[in-house]
Structure 1
Amino acid sequence: MQIATWNVNSIRSRITHVTQWLQDHPVDVLCLQETKVIDPDFPLQPLAALGYHIYISGQKAYNGVAILSRKPLESCTTGFAAILGKTDLDAQKRVITGIVDGVRIVNLYVPNGSTVGSDKYYYKLEWLQTLKEYLATILPTPMVICGDFNIALEDRDIYKQPDNHDNLIMASPKERQALQEIIQLGLADAFRKFTPDGGHFSWWDYRTGAFHRNRGWRIDHHYLTAELYQQATSCIIDTTPRKLEKPSDHAPVILTL
């Protein structure tokens, strides 16, 4: 089974990129983030024509997640409320999950946090704590938790090691600790199973020619439960779509089980 995650930064703007990529890489499941469209306006037809069942949770202009699957999903839900009963964090469409071939796939778009110490930063920390509770509730089901985490867990996930993390959004100590606590539920980073060295990134800022200079961050992840981690045979970042005209600032990350 191949499962990919990709922050497309607007599915309507990037629909041609996505359909072409799926023709070149006909993965079993594609998890999308930052779709930026309400559900009635999601471009279903081009994706359905490629043989995908499409599950969506979107909002206008911001956020939004979707799962495309060659097989129908079982038990598809959105948000935290379906598991935890909490609804205060579900106004922002950031969580969608379903089961295929006995594997629960959890697709996430973690808040960015804006700047350390801001209201959005503390919202991000609250969101991550709620995510921890959510995942703890549905474990130990075999799971792939993937998406745009907006966190570089280690310095090797950033093109340049920072002198001070305290005010560095996406790498501050509290963000990293929150993600570490989630991983400690019994998860492992699929990419690091195969690629221990630095210099491999999934996001590059549009500014300052970051992609061409490979000044990126690795913030798009696949975290696996123990059984699936043992079954993983590959996890790669496909930088090809980032080279296209008007690309997403993220690249797809493909997991093979």
Structure 2
Amino acid sequence: MRIASWNINSVRTRIERAVDLLQRHDIDVLALQETKVKDEAFPTEPFTEAGYEVAHFGLNQWNGVALISRVGLENVRTSFPQQPGYHNDPTAPQDIEARALGAECGGVEVWSLYVPNGREIAHPHYDYKLRFLYTLGAYAHSLSTPAVFVGDYNIAPRDSDVWDASFFAGKTHLTEPERHAFSFLCSEGVEETSRRFTEGEYSYWDYTAMRFPKNEGMRIDFQVATAALAGRACAGFIDREERSGKGASDHAPVVVDYE
């Protein structure tokens, strides 16, 4: 099974690119993040015409996650157990955001994830990000079945995952609490499978400051699999060429093959 993860940064803007990606790489399951659309406005038809089933979770013009599958799409869930919610006002209801979507695809539990950014270290959103990751880790560790958690994690686990670690001093994405939360997820047999095949490559380049032409990027998009699936990862790549095209997302697709 070939699984791809891509922060598409608006599915309606890049629907043709998404369908082309499916066909170009012969993808079985495509997980999208930052679709930035409500469920009723998601462009389902181009995917179904290409032979895929579609599940989407979007509440407004922010966030949004989708699963596009040609190997089945069953038991669709819009949150994982104990997933935390968020509101800028701590006295308001902390509702679940459109950041996680899971389903059974060809005998594998696949999750499309858009991990909270964290905004600033002292911001409540940063604590929300940590809670999200630890709760996700607890769920992943509870599984003995094949499962994979793919998406935009908004974390660079190692200094080598960014073009210049000193640039991020005092900022999110490289802090020890974030890295510890990610390492907690990737423990007890749960493994970041995409790293096996993409070490030293980036998956994100900011639109500003000519980051992509300078290759000043970050590696923040991953595939993380349970022990029952991780050993079946046999190949993978980051589609850097997709990022180079006109009108591209600021993220590149991350692809892993599982036997």
- Structure 1 gaps of 5+ residues are none
Specify the alignment match of 1:121 in structure 2. 126
Tell me, in whole angstroms, the C-alpha distance in 2 between the residues paired with 1:127 and 1:85.
6
C-alpha distance 255-119 of structure 1, shift in aligned 2 (>3 A): same
Match of 2:120, as an amino acid?
Answer: T
Structure 1: distance between partners of 2:105 and 2:242: 27
Aligned position for 2:24: 24
1:151 and 2:155 equivalent? yes
Q: Secondary structure at the match of 1:250?
A: coil
- 1:101 to partner: Cα distance: 2.4
The one-letter code matched in structure 2 to 1:181 is F
Percent sequence identity over matched residues?
Answer: 39
- Matching residue of 1:192: 195
User: Which of 177, 181, 192 is equivalent to 1:178?
Assistant: 181
Query: Given the superposition, is the C-alpha separation of residues 85 and 113 from structure 1 closer, same or farther in structure 2, using an over 3 Å criterion?
Result: closer
Contact 2:64 2:98 in 1 (8 A): yes
Q: Secondary structure at the match of 1:93?
A: coil
Cα deviation, 1:75-119, whole Å, max 9, x if unaligned, reads 211113xx3487666531001111122211121100001111112
Q: CA deviation at 1:248?
A: 0.6
1:60 aligns to 2:63 (yes or no)? no
Whether contact under 8 Å (2:85, 2:97) holds in the other structure is no
Partner of 1:161: 165
Write out the 4+ residue segments of structure 1 that deviate beyond 6 Å after TM superposition: 85-88
| Cα distance in 2 for residues equivalent to 1:173 and 1:100 | 34
TM-score by length of 2: 0.91
Normalising by the residue count of structure 1, what TM-score does the alignment of the two structures yield?
Answer: 0.92
CA 1:20–1:179 in 2, change beyond 3 Å: closer, same or farther? Answer: same
Determine the C-alpha separation between the residues in 1 that align with 2:240 and 2:167.
28
Alpha carbons 2:83, 2:96 under 8 Å: kept: no
CA contact (8 A) 1:79 1:90 kept: no
**In structure 1, what is the equivalent of residue 112 of structure 2?**
107
- Distance (whole Å) between structure 2 residues aligned to residue 116 and residue 41 of structure 1: 34
Aligned residues of 2:72 and 2:105 also touching (Cα < 8 A):
yes
Cα distance change, pair 91–229 in 1 and its aligned pair in 2 (3 A) = closer
Matched pairs, number: 251
Structure 1 counterpart of 2:75: 75
User: Against the structure 1 CA distance between its residues 87 and 242, is the aligned structure 2 distance closer, same or farther, given a 3 Å change threshold?
Assistant: closer
CA apart distance, 1:177: 0.5
Q: Which residue matches 1:205?
A: 206
**Alpha-carbon deviation of 1:161?**
3.0
Q: Would the alpha carbon gap of residues 235 and 85 (structure 1) be closer, same or farther in structure 2, given more than 3 Å must change?
A: closer
TM-fit CA distance, 1:209: 0.7
- Residues 150 and 220, structure 1, Cα contact 8 Å, conserved in 2: yes
d(CA) in 2 for partners of 1:207, 1:164: 15
For 1:246, the equivalent position in structure 2 comes to: 247
Instruction: Check the 8 A contact 2:76/2:101 in 1, yes or no.
Output: yes
